[in-house]
Amino acid sequence: MSDYYTEQLVKKKPDMKDMMTKAILVAVTIVSILAVLYYPIIILVPVLLIGLDIFMFHRLKVEYEYLYVNGDLDIDKIMNKSKRKRVFSMNVSDLEMLAPADAVELRQYQNAKVYDYSSGTGQARVYALITANQGEVKKILFEPNETIVEGFFLMAPRKVIRK
C-alpha cells in the first residue's frame, strides 16, 4: 500500500506589521547612532541595536511548509530558510470542515480563533480548515494545492467543500 504524500512551500509576503517593525528598528538604531555623537559613553547601545536589527530582519523572512501524509497535516514555519518551527499539526479525525475561506458554510465558525498561515498575497486560493481539539475550535487559513485538498476529500468527503 502506498502513502498519500504531498508537501508544499508557501513564501509569506511581508505585511504592514512586518514593515512597521523594520522601520521602527531602523529608526531607533539611527537615533542611537546620532546620540553617540553627543554622549560617547553609550557606544554599546547602537552596536546592540544593530545586532537586534539583523536578528529581527532574519526572523521576518518567513515561509510555510504544508506537509500532508495519509490524513495528517503539519504546517511548519521556516524563518530565513534556516530555522524551522512546527506551528500546527492535526489528523483528519479532528477535522470539522475544510472549505474556501469565503464559503458561506463557514459562517457558523466566525467566533473560532483564527491562525493565518497563508502567503498574504491574495493571488492564491485560501482555504479555511476548522478543527475542534480539546474543546477549542480553531480556524486555520492556508493555501493548499489541489493534491492536499484531494487528500482531505478522500479521507473525509462530507467535511470537505471544493470549489
pLDDT of residue 1: 46
* Cα–Cα distance for residue pair 48/116, rounded to 1 Å: 32
pTM score = 0.85
pLDDT of residue 2: 64
* Cα–Cα distance for residue pair 148/142, rounded to 1 Å: 11
* For the chain, domain boundaries: 16-59
What is the number of other CB atoms lying within 10 angstroms of the CB of residue 144?
Answer: 23
Return per-residue pLDDT of the chain as tens, 163 residues.
467 889 999 999 998 999 999 999 999 999 999 999 998 898 999 999 999 999 999 999 999 999 999 889 999 999 999 899 999 999 999 999 999 999 999 999 988 999 999 998 888 899 999 998 778 899 999 999 999 999 999 999 999 998 7
Q: Which residue, 49, 48, 41, 81, is CA-closest to 65?
A: 81
| Element at 10 (helix H, strand E) | strand 5-11
Q: Which residue, 58, 63, 59, is CA-closest to 11?
A: 63
pLDDT of residue 98: 95
* Cα–Cα distance for residue pair 101/128, rounded to 1 Å: 5
